[in-house]
Every structure is written in structure tokens, then in C-alpha cells.
Amino acid sequence: MAKILLVDDDPDITESLTLILEGNGHQVSAVDNTDDIVGTVRRHNPDLVLLDVIFPQDPQAGFKAARALALDQDVNHIPVLVLSAVNQQSDLGFSFSDKDISDDFMPVTGFIEKPVEPAVLLARIDSALRGA
């Protein structure tokens, strides 16, 4: 199946997602921060990136990482799915969804709200890998 890079600072989320993904034939690598995200993606060479948004050092780190990946010609072909509970963890007065995907603000393939049912996650990953 696919090589997936999981970028999330929550070890419980990382562990559960790894079990789900590996149990469905995917190879998973995980990192707990967005530091040097372009270099990390280059080193891991994934087929897809699952990216959280909120990190302790910066509540917008995932958005910044998505923009950095989109700007890099060596990695911007790799689908990025934001997998985040940002809508529940912030008091922004609005929420994020696939409608917010844009080249400037959220240049990603899709947005998935945590928590997510495994079947929904797997379907979204399959769709992103097919380019649908």
C-alpha cells in the first residue's frame, strides 16, 4: 500500500492512527513536530502526509507547514491531508473544512476533523492517493 508520514504531537493519536493504518497495509512513519517539515518529507519520501495543525510551540504550525510543503517543488506533488481537532480546540468563531482549502491559506488535499472513524480516514487517504 502507501507510505504515510504522520505529523502529530499527540502520542496517543499517533499510536492509534499507526495501528489503523498499518492494520490496513500502509507503512507509517511519525514525527511529533513540524520543524524542518520539507527536509522531513524529503527524508521519509512518503506517498501522503497526514498533518495536524496545532502544536505546542505554535498553534498554526500545521498551516505553516502545509504552505512550506506547497512551495517546495520537490515535495509539493505529495498529497497532504490535514487531520486536526482545531475546530474543537479553538475559539475562532468559525471552523475549518474542505471549503477552506486554497493555494494561499490552506494548500492541502483535504481537511479531516478529529476524531475520525477509521473507515472514513481510510477512504479519504485512498481518494487522495488516487488524486480524486
pTM of the full predicted structure?
A: 0.88
Is the per-residue pLDDT at 36 higher than 90? Answer: yes
Report residue 85's pLDDT band, with 50, 70 and 90 as the boundaries: confident
Structural domains of the chain ordered from first start: 3-130 (3.40.50.2300)
92: CB partners within 8 A, 6+ apart? none
Sign, Cα dihedral of 109, 23, 47, 71: positive
